[in-house]
Structure 1
Amino acid sequence: MEYAYPVVGFIAGMALVATSVFTAFLYTPTTASTVDTAITAFTGATLQIGDFLSVSSVTAIVFDLLATQFGMQYPMLVPFTIAYVATHLIVYYSSLRITDVQGEPLDPDFDIRENPLRLATLSIPGALILLPSGRR
């Protein structure tokens, strides 16, 4: 029961990141209309909040296990700094990959049916970092 909140936070964060990625994949904003702006804001907000929840939950569990199982105590600044840096790096690289994904449906050589697991992989925080970039 002691890990109930971090586990629920992790699941909620993963769901928000998945929502962000699927939204980005399904709809590519092309203009500066109110709808495009709202969808872009929704995609960005769900990505950032979801990533924050996921990383915070994992950090809380890891540092609690370090303290209880191995007796390694750290000041609050250490897990805070690690979670802060990880969250920002993941959001930065995820945003780059989402931009690439939004461009792929317009690419005639790209067919998601050839690699359907790629879309599922995109919903995992951090997995977006591992995907090759289409940027040149």
Structure 2
Amino acid sequence: MTIHYSKDHEWIEFAEEHEAATVGITLHAQEALGDVVFVDLPEVGKRFAQGEVAGVVESVKAAADIYMPVSGEVVEVNEALRADPSLANSDPMGQGWFFKVHVDQKDLGEFDQLMDEPDYLKFAQNN
């Protein structure tokens, strides 16, 4: 399993070729937002292109768009997160995931445009 990161501070974990990839916000993003109070998750079955807004997260400080890190179709949303948005703060890389997306074979190359963890950590320090 490999986690990739976007410049918009989302992470995506792609386990195996035929499994859905899991998407969430990074630790850096949740720290910048502060206490998350609401999440607007995408509709299951909706397809998004890489970079499109797929949801919104609202905190006591601000609201921020959630961008699709790679093109794909949403196959599951985290209902636990909808019920308890604070999971995005307490466990952003685990139980606080946002949605799962099926990535078509033709779109797998989009992962190459994302960062690995060392590159993302350097990026996040400056942004």
Higher relative contact order (CA 8 A, sep 6+): 1
Greater Cα radius of gyration, structure 1 or 2: 1
Higher normalized helix content (fraction of residues): 1
TM-score by length of 2: 0.26
TM-score by length of 1: 0.25
